[in-house]
Amino acid sequence: MNEFRPGRFQVLPTIIKNLLIINVLFFVAQNTIATQLNIPMDNLFALHTWKSPLFRPWQLVSHLFLHSDIMHIFGNMFGLWMFGSVLENLWGSKRFLTFYVICGLGAALLHLIFLNIEISHLTNEYLDIVALHTSGKSGATQAMLAFVNHHHIMLNSDDILTFLRANPDNHEVGGQLLDVLSEYYKMKINTPTIGASGAVFGVLAAFVYLFPNTYLYLYFFFPVKAKWAGLAYFAYELFFAVRASAGDNVARWAHVGGAIVGLILVITWNKTNKQNFY
C-alpha cells in the first residue's frame, strides 16, 4: 500500500473527534478554571521523572492531554487529525485507540529512561557538592562554580560568583550559592513534560510506513513524498535528542520513542496482511 486512496472516508472519525475534544477541554481548563482556582494541573497530570516527589503512575497517560500554548496544541491536534484520521478509517476505532495509547506510553517510557539518566548525573553532582560544603572541606566553592558553568545557571547577580572566586573559603556566602543550586536542582527534578507529540509521532510513523509515496504539502505548497518527509523529521529529532543541547525544552526522546514504537507496532500488525489490518 504505497498511496492513500480513500473510499468511504470519515473526515472526523469517532476516536479522532473525541481526542480533539478532550485535548481542547483540558487546554481550556488549564487556562481558565485551573488558573482561577489555583489548581496545579501540571503537578497532578504532567509527566514527571520517577525521581520526583510529584510523579504519579497516571501521568504516563494524562500528560498526553496537556499543552503549553495555542501553537503547541494546534500543531499536535492538526497532525493527529491529518494522519490519524486515515489510520482510524483504515483500522477502525478500537484498534486505532489501542495504537495511539501504546505509542503514547512507549514515548513516555523512553523519555523517562533518558530523563532518569540525566537526573541521576545531576543528583550525583549535587549531592557531592552538598557533602563537600557540609563537611567544610576545601574544594566546595570550586565544585559549585563548576556546577554553575556546566549547567548554564543564570543568577540574578554575579556578585556572589565574583566574591567566591576571590574568597573561596567563605562558608556563609558559599551557603547562599548552595541555596541557589538547591532551587535549581528541585526545579530540574520537578520539571513537567506535557503534550501529545510522542503519540502523534507514532501515528506519523505508521502513516509513512503504510503510505510512503503519498504526497504531503509542506507549508501547503511544496509537495514531498511521505517517506522522505518522515525520515527527515525523524533524523532531525534524533539528532537533537542525541545532542541534548542546553536550553532545549523539547522532549526529543519522547518523539523518537513514539515513532519507534509506532513503527514496530505497525510492522508487527501488518506481517500477515500487506494491504490492511482488517
Give the mean pLDDT per block of 10 residues along the chain (278 residues): 58 95 94 82 93 94 95 95 95 96 96 92 92 85 90 81 84 88 93 94 96 80 84 88 69 92 93 53
Both 122 and 176 in a single domain? yes
Using the 3D structure, point to which of 189, 218, 244 is the last residue of a domain: 189
Query: Does residue 174 sit within a domain?
Result: yes
Query: Does residue 7 sit within a domain?
Result: no
pLDDT score at 262:
96
pLDDT score at 161:
83
pLDDT score at 274:
53
pLDDT score at 158:
77
Q: Domain count of the chain?
A: 2
Both 66 and 183 in a single domain? no
Using the 3D structure, point to which of 142, 167, 189 is the last residue of a domain: 189
pLDDT score at 277:
39
Both 185 and 166 in a single domain? yes
CATH number of residue 54's parent domain = 1.20.1540.10
pTM: 0.85
Both 31 and 95 in a single domain? yes
pLDDT score at 278:
36
Query: Does residue 5 sit within a domain?
Result: no
Query: Does residue 265 sit within a domain?
Result: yes
pLDDT score at 96:
97
Both 18 and 107 in a single domain? yes
**For residue 92, what are the domain limits?**
14-115+194-269
Both 109 and 209 in a single domain? yes
* CA 255, chain centre distance (Å): 7
pLDDT score at 276:
46
